[in-house]
Amino acid sequence: MKDLFAVIMLSGIYGLLSASFFVAMDAVDVAFTEASVGAGISTLLMLAAITMTGRSEHPVRHKPVLALAVVIVTGSLLIYGTLDMPYFGSAEAPVHQHVAPRYINDSMQEVGVPNIVTSVLASYRGFDTFGEVVVIFTAGMGVLALLSVVRHPKGVAGDIEEIDSLNKSMHEEHLILRIVAKMLIPFILLFALYVQFHGDYGPGGGFQAGVIFAAAIILYTMLFGMSTARRVINQSLIQLFAAIGVLVYGSVGVISLLEGKHFLDYSALSADPVAGQHLGILLIELGVGITVASVMVIIFFNFAGRKDDQQNKENNES
């Protein structure tokens, strides 16, 4: 396949198919995340990248026989390795024996939250989630370091004139899309808030909510232009928010330390341990949601801003 556009679309379809597979495997939280992240954001970022790197692939000049041989050998070794594994869906598999029954049985008394995945993610394995938030933050900073463009301020009056003329010229072309988007974006944001705070009772939680929130902002940016979006969403404010999310997560842990218990032990947050767990989970999911939303917006703005900058340079030279 030479056309990278088709390749990226197919990988988006692959992500969506795997999300439906996850639903069939009873992994509803994972399916939600994979559908929003894998089929949504990932496809979007790849499309943004190929607008800058070129749409088709140069033809390969030699036949990759060695690669095929390596792949076949590795594949057969792996299949040989799986002959010992437990059957699909068996309840006596070792993975279901030691820690998982304790999580399933004791989660209601110790944490008091119906969604076991959220209680494990936020309370029993809170350290891993902290590391994950820091990884997302680092990725955002990395993209910022690689792709950010220095804005040359042209003065307030010149900027606004240029934005208004751009808006008028684009208005006719995208009229229906703009009107529908204006109707829908508040509902998308509301849905993101719903997913964020109902992560305790159904599938959802911080990551999915952050991604949906960022998707609403990206929709606005795509339809109304980068310059309008920059006026609505201040770049430095979003960077501040990304840091604030990580800070909220860390400070919940530090408060537990200051109360005399372990780092990220939520029972230190309130007199009743279960209420402390609820409060702790609420706060850290909020931190996660804020960071994920801001980092996704930062990454998209940098990809789109780089493209704008390249086009401006070409227009100035020619």
Partner 1 sequence: MILGLYNYWIVVVLMMVGFYIVIAHGNLIKKIVGLTIFQTSVFIFYISMAKVDGGTAPILAEGIKQYSNPLPHVLILTAIVVGIATTALGLALTVRIKEAYGSIEEEEIQEKDNLDC
Partner 2 sequence: MDSLLNISSALFLLIGSFLCISGGVGILRFPDFYTRMHAAGVTDTLATAMILIGLMLQNPDGLVILKLMMILLMTLIISPTASHALASAAVHNNLMPELDKKEDNEKVTSSNP
Nearer to partner 1, 119 or 224 (CB): 119
d(CA 243, CA 267): 25
**Residue 11 interacts with which of partner 2, partner 1, none, CB < 5 to 8 Å by class:** partner 1
**Sole window of 106-114, 163-171, 180-188, 265-273 interacting with partner 2 (rule: CB under 8 A):** 180-188
Q: Considering the rule CB under 8 A, would residue 283 count as an interface residue with partner 1?
A: no
d(CA 307, CA 318): 17
Shortest separation between residue 303's beta carbon and partner 1, angstroms: 7
Binding positions for partner 1, 212-271, rule CB under 8 A: none
Residue 198 is given by DSSP the state: T
**Sole window of 82-90, 99-107, 160-168, 178-186 interacting with partner 2 (rule: CB under 8 A):** 178-186
Burial class (CB in 10 A: 0-12, 13-18, 19+), 146: exposed
**Residue 173 interacts with which of partner 2, partner 1, none, CB < 5 to 8 Å by class:** partner 2
Phi and psi at 3, nearest 5°, equal -90, 115
Q: Considering the rule CB under 8 A, would residue 176 count as an interface residue with partner 2?
A: yes
Q: Considering the rule CB under 8 A, would residue 17 count as an interface residue with partner 2?
A: no
Angle, alpha carbons 73-77-80 (nearest 5°): 140
Q: Considering the rule CB under 8 A, would residue 180 count as an interface residue with partner 2?
A: yes
Q: Considering the rule CB under 8 A, would residue 195 count as an interface residue with partner 1?
A: no
Shortest separation between residue 4's beta carbon and partner 2, angstroms: 16
Burial class (CB in 10 A: 0-12, 13-18, 19+), 136: buried
- For residue 79, the surrounding DSSP H or E stretch is helix 65-81
Residue located via tokens 């095929």: 68
Instruction: Mark residue 60 as left, alpha or beta (left: phi above 0; alpha: psi -120 to 50; beta: remaining).
Output: beta
**Sole window of 176-184, 239-247, 277-285, 303-311 interacting with partner 2 (rule: CB under 8 A):** 176-184
**Residue 221 interacts with which of partner 2, partner 1, none, CB < 5 to 8 Å by class:** none
Nearer to partner 1, 139 or 188 (CB): 139
**Residue 177 interacts with which of partner 1, partner 2, none, CB < 5 to 8 Å by class:** partner 2
Torsion of CA 268, 271, 272, 277, to 10 degrees: -30
Angle, alpha carbons 87-93-99 (nearest 5°): 150
**Sole window of 37-45, 140-148, 169-177, 243-251 interacting with partner 2 (rule: CB under 8 A):** 169-177
d(CA 221, CA 171): 14
d(CA 85, CA 23): 23
Q: Considering the rule CB under 8 A, would residue 103 count as an interface residue with partner 1?
A: yes
Options 183, 237, 260, 271; binder of partner 2; rule CB under 8 A: 183
Provide the binding-site residues for partner 2, judged by CB under 8 A.
173-174, 176-177, 180, 183-184, 187
